Amino acid sequence: MNQKEAVFQAVNGVLAEHGLSTEGNISSSITKELRSQIVAVLVAGFQNNTIAISENFDRSKIETYASSLLSNWLRKDGRLNGGIKYVAKNPGSRAGSGDEQLKAMRQLLKTLTPGTADHTEVQGFINERVAEISVAKAPKFDLSKLPEALRNKFSK
C-alpha cells in the first residue's frame, strides 16, 4: 500500500474507533492521543511491510518519519483536509538545496549582519546562483517545431 493511502486509512480507522467524523478538515479533531494512535498504526504498517517505504529505519526514526508523514498528508490530502488545495508556505525556498556552492553562500550569509553591504553582496550572489540553477533546469524543447517568427526570436 502506498503511504498516502495508508495515512488515509489509519486516520479514518482511528477516528471511527472513537466515533469521530471523518468528513471535512479533520486536523482540528486530532488530539495528541489520537495522533499517537495513528502514528502507531503507521509504524506497525512499516514494520509489517504492508506500507511501502524505500529505506530501513530504526524504531525511533520510523516514529518520527510516520509523524511527519501524517502531518504532510493531513495538509495535502483533499480527503483529509476538507478538499482545500495545498499551497506551499514558502514556494521556492528549497531551490538549489542540492547545490554545494549555494549551500556555502547561504551558510556565509547567516554569519553576516542583515542590512550591511557584505550581507547585500552575498545575497546578490545567492540570487544569481538560484537564477542560474533555474535556467539550467528549464524545460528543453525543439525550437525547429516553432513558427519561424518565434524560432527567430527565441533562438538566441
pLDDT at 121 (0 to 100) = 96
Q: Yes or no: say if 4 and 52 are a contact pair by the CB < 8 Å rule.
A: no
Amino acid at 4: K
Domain ranges of the chain: 3-76, 90-145
pLDDT tens readout for residues 64-76: 999 999 999 999 9
Distance CA 71, CA 18 (A): 20
pLDDT tens readout for residues 33-56: 999 999 999 999 999 989 998 887
DSSP state of 66: H
Angle, CA 145 vertex, CA 139 and CA 151 arms, to 5°: 85
Note the pTM of the prediction, 2 decimals.
0.61
